[in-house]
């Protein structure tokens, strides 16, 4: 199977300091990859580079074999490269229904008709409620975002990402800031993502990483120091020294 997403020798320097240093990564449809590493390793910078929010100093980004390095974030989204953010970026006065409808209409280049007529579009409304139901938040469709719990807001963000019909989904700490009582719902939602969707997840919760990932990539000081199976990452001395430390010795990790 050919790569759906590929990063080749990506580099980003700030004032002579290489924050992302010659990073290469390949993903195929259906991949479940966790990107981990210590704070300051360059994980969020890497995501900003591949999504077009930052311009690399060198290297390239490819979707289904096509070089998208010169495209902006919106164009990359249209090609199926979609991200979620570590902190919610929702509109507090809008409802989940309005958020998802807007995402669908943006995907179809019909966003100018959003507020006047989205409820008069049966195809849009059907998809809105299908997505909200899939994420278990259809009952909140008509409430303002400011009135719903933070964990439910994270589920709404996932619905928005799916509304854009991604081929590659980048999740930046999807459970960050969510109460422990709600993290299981987010984890179930991630587990239920389409099987052909390539997912790259940045996460610090190592228990979640090991339940999610079929492959683990470790970034340290802007460089990939490990790319392999979850069962092997805890045995790698460089990863132990750079990040995992005593976690690698925990008997609960296979």
User: Who has greater pLDDT, 215 or 182?
Assistant: 215
| 220-229 mean pLDDT | 94
pLDDT at 86 (0 to 100): 53
The conformation of residue 212, written as its DSSP 8-state character, comes to H
pLDDT at 67 (0 to 100): 97
Longest distance between any two alpha carbons in the chain, whole Å: 59
**pLDDT tens by residue, 1-50:** 689 999 999 999 988 888 999 999 999 999 999 999 988 888 989 999 99
Which residues are within 8 A (CB) of 148 and not within 5 positions of it... i.e. 6 or more apart?
96, 137, 140, 156
Q: Single out the residue of 98, 115, 186, 191 nearest to residue 149, CA to CA.
A: 186
pLDDT at 251 (0 to 100): 40
Cα(98)–Cα(140) distance, rounded to whole angstroms?
11
Give the Cβ contact number of residue 219 at 10 Å. 26
CATH assignment of 5-89+167-249?
3.40.50.300
| 139-153 mean pLDDT | 94
Query: Over 60: is that where the pLDDT of 150 sits?
Result: yes
Query: Over 80: is that where the pLDDT of 83 sits?
Result: yes
| 49-69 mean pLDDT | 95
Cα(150)–Cα(88) distance, rounded to whole angstroms?
9
Cα(152)–Cα(63) distance, rounded to whole angstroms?
31
């Amino acid at each position: 199977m050919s790569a759906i997403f590929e990063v080749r020798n990506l580099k980003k320097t700030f004032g002579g300091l290489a924050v992302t240093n010659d990073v290469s990564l390949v993903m195929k449809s259906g991949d479940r990859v966790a990107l981990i590493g210590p704070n300051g390793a360059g994980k969020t910078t890497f995501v900003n580079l591949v999504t077009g929010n930052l311009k690399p100093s060198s290297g390239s980004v490819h979707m289904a074999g096509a070089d998208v390095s010169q495209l902006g974030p919106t164009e990359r989204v249209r090609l199926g490269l979609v991200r979620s953010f570590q902190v919610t970026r929702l509109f507090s006065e809008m409802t989940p229904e309005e958020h998802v409808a807007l995402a669908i209409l943006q995907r179809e280049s019909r966003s100018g008709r959003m507020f006047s007529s989205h409820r008069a579009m049966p195809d849009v409304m059907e998809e809105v409620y299908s997505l909200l139901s899939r994420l278990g938040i259809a009952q909140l469709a008509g409430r303002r975002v400011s009135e719903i719990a933070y964990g439910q807001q994270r589920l709404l963000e996932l619905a928005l990402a799916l509304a854009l019909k991604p081929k590659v989904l980048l999740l930046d700490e999807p459970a960050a800031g969510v109460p422990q009582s709600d993290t299981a719902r987010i984890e179930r939602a991630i587990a239920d993502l389409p099987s052909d969707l390539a997912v790259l997840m940045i996460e610090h919760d190592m228990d979640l990483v090991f339940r999610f990932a079929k492959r683990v990539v470790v970034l340290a000081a802007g460089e990939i120091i490990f790319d392999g199976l979850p069962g092997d990452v805890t045995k790698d001395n460089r990863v132990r020294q750079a990040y995992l430390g005593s976690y690698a010795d925990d008997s609960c990790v296979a």
